[in-house]
Amino acid sequence: MVTRHLFEYAPDYVDEGMRSVCAIAPGVLGITGIETGDIIQGIVQKVQPSAIIAIDALAARSIDRLGTTIQISDTGISPGSGVGNKRHALNQETLGIPVIAIGAPSVVYANTIVLDAIQKLTESLRQNASPQSNVGGILRDLSPEEQGQLVHEVLSPFWGNLVVAPKETDEQIRQMSKVIAGGLNVALQPGLETSDTLRYLQ
């Protein structure tokens, strides 16, 4: 719920307990030609908000997290860092106000997919193979860290840092957007009825 304009231009529509909230989708450097950090710094100087909530996509560490988890922290965010394209950080040190970061895992590295498959396979082998069995051999004896290093060494020359998104990513993002928006509405507008803050997300 974006409400900041109501306080200035339509105060009669401001309900008791309503907070001033504004929102922006700054885009990416390749489209705007402006660093996200620079855009946000300009807004902070002009609007002087109490805090910033920065929402971004994440590269998941496991395929099980795609579309199923939401990460929240108070340490800020570095746009693009999940895919090796780290930009200016958005945090209290750079902006001078608290920054809450919300991340939605929506892509995964190809080597993470392979590593997940190998770890599930080796776990199955450990549980089901007899002690005398040679099935799985060296993979079964490697630690998860050693398996990760092996996958990285094998795949790097071929796929490099290939990033993959599930085919249903558009629907996943739509659903996660509703969850995040609903949570923010309830948190930022505690003076309003929950049904009012969630109605427009249906």
Task: Find how far residue 79's CA is from the centre of its chain.
Answer: 10
Helices (H), the chain: 4-9, 29-32, 36-47, 92-95, 110-128, 137-141, 144-159, 169-188, 194-198
pLDDT tens digits for 19-71? Answer: 999 999 988 878 888 888 889 999 999 999 999 999 988 888 888 888 888 99
Would you say domain 4-108+166-201 falls under CATH 3.40.50.620? no
Residue 200, classed as helix, strand or coil, is helix
Answer whether 0.85 is exceeded by the pTM: no
The pLDDT assigned to 70 comes to 92
CA 171 distance to own-chain centroid: 16
Q: Domain residue spans in the chain?
A: 4-108+166-201, 112-159
